[in-house]
Amino acid sequence: MVTLSGNGSGPEAGVDLTTTYLGLSLRNPLVASPSPATSTVDRVKALADAGVGAVVLPSLYEEQVIGEELREIGFTEPYEDIHGEAQGYFPVQPGTQMPGATWRYLGLVREAVAAVDIPVIASLNGSSLDGWTDFAVRMEGAGAAALELNIYFVPGDPRTSGRAVEDRHVEILSRVKEAVSIPVAVKLSPHFSSIGEMALRLDEAGADGLVLFNRFLHPDVDPETLVVTPGVGLSTPEEGRLARSWIAILAGQVRGSLAATTGVESAGDVAAYLLAGADVVMTASALLRHGLGHTEALLDGLTDWMKRKRFNSVGEARAQLAVPTDVDADAYQRSGYVSALDTARRVYGELNATSDPSDPRRS
């Protein structure tokens, strides 16, 4: 049993922060999710020293690998038939024919695994069906404790059916699961027409865990420069409500683990996700805003909260506010929706109310 003290690094009687994610034993439920904060071995070590339970490395992007392969082909192809010995002049990565992006990523996995004693999870980001298994096998060979599949597929063709998008996710997962023996999680988008059914399909297809939710960084339009701009921004606590709602619905309904991500800024956000039913809570934006040391503040706050609420372990707190499995889930959610509307009307009043405090429409 591993527990944390007030500084997030030693034993604290009566407070057990240990948890299990993807079948892996973690010293606490706080996981550093993919971001620049997990992009180097030194940063991974700093996060481990600060107390995180696990780290997920930034994704290896399908486009990175393909782009480097195409550049290498463009460089060598015009000369490949000039003379056989000329091949020896072309640059080759030592001991491998893999593109540089893959080689560098596998090096990061190996070095991070050797540097820390917490699980290091590799991440793959792509949308096509090809290449996933090869990359996954190499990541397993480099020592990754698990894989996170970040299937970022936004169908630009309006004729693409929702079922085709869903089937692609299931097929990618199935192929990877057949190729590796380490646990595999799928990072889900919140934009499926039926998130619950998609979660159940992936769970039945063998997903060891689901990560809710992937934040799509949508591009935007700048009316002054007349260009399309990248949609880059850190998450806010308000964005966590959607993920908590679905984690509360899925808790107890799926076999695999549930990981929460998005909107984790404070210890209260971590606690709320646990109460909804998350096995682990991932954060990136808070670490980028406040530095890697913010990990300790989150763990200290979580420990203090558990003491105040008299929870002796994470397991006692988990899923306390999940949707009960023996109720009509549709009616349960509808009831919450109506309650939220009633609260909004009481707080903000009717839209056509005047500014006169004595106007009866403001009551």
DSSP letter for each residue of 174-227: HHHHHH-SS-EEEEEPS-STTHHHHHHHHHHTT-SEEEE-------EEETTTTE
Q: Tell me whether residue 107 is in a domain.
A: yes
Q: Please tell me whether residues 67 and 34 are part of one structural domain.
A: yes
Q: Tell me whether residue 8 is in a domain.
A: no
Side-chain half-sphere exposure of 216, counting CA atoms within 13 A: 13
Q: Please tell me whether residues 224 and 123 are part of one structural domain.
A: yes
Q: Who has greater pLDDT, 339 or 239?
A: 239
Confidence of residue 11 (pLDDT cuts 50, 70, 90): very low
Confidence of residue 80 (pLDDT cuts 50, 70, 90): very low
Q: What tens digit of pLDDT does each residue of 163-211 get? A: 998 999 999 999 999 999 999 999 999 989 999 999 999 999 999 999 9
How many structural domains is the chain composed of?
2
Q: Tell me whether residue 198 is in a domain.
A: yes
Q: Tell me whether residue 2 is in a domain.
A: no
Q: Please tell me whether residues 33 and 101 are part of one structural domain.
A: yes
Q: What tens digit of pLDDT does each residue of 105-143 get? A: 999 999 999 999 999 999 998 766 767 888 899 999 999
Q: Please tell me whether residues 352 and 300 are part of one structural domain.
A: no
DSSP letter for each residue of 100-129: HHHHHHHHHHHHHHHH-SS-EEEEEEE-SS
Q: What tens digit of pLDDT does each residue of 197-206 get? A: 999 999 999 9
Q: Please tell me whether residues 273 and 349 are part of one structural domain.
A: no
Amino acid at 264: V
Q: Tell me whether residue 7 is in a domain.
A: no
Q: Tell me whether residue 5 is in a domain.
A: no
Q: Please tell me whether residues 241 and 267 are part of one structural domain.
A: yes
For residue 27, CA distances in Å to 2, 208, 299 come to: 5, 19, 11
Q: Please tell me whether residues 282 and 337 are part of one structural domain.
A: no
Which pLDDT value is given to residue 326? 63
Q: Please tell me whether residues 342 and 282 are part of one structural domain.
A: no
Q: Is the pLDDT of residue 360 over 60?
A: no
Q: How far apart are CA 338 and CA 153, in angstroms?
A: 33
Bond prior to 90 in cis (omega within 30° of 0):
no
Confidence of residue 98 (pLDDT cuts 50, 70, 90): low
| Cβ neighbours, 10 Å, residue 179 | 15
Q: Tell me whether residue 209 is in a domain.
A: yes
Q: In sequence order, what E strands does 39-142 have? A: 54-61, 120-126
Provide the residue range defining the domain that includes 251.
19-326
Q: Please tell me whether residues 241 and 335 are part of one structural domain.
A: no
Q: Tell me whether residue 349 is in a domain.
A: yes
Q: Please tell me whether residues 333 and 220 are part of one structural domain.
A: no
Q: Please tell me whether residues 271 and 343 are part of one structural domain.
A: no
Which pLDDT value is given to residue 82? 37
Amino acid at 214: N
Domain holding 178: CATH number? 3.20.20.70
Model pTM?
A: 0.81
Summarize the confidence of residues 266-293 as an average pLDDT: 96
Q: Please tell me whether residues 319 and 354 are part of one structural domain.
A: no
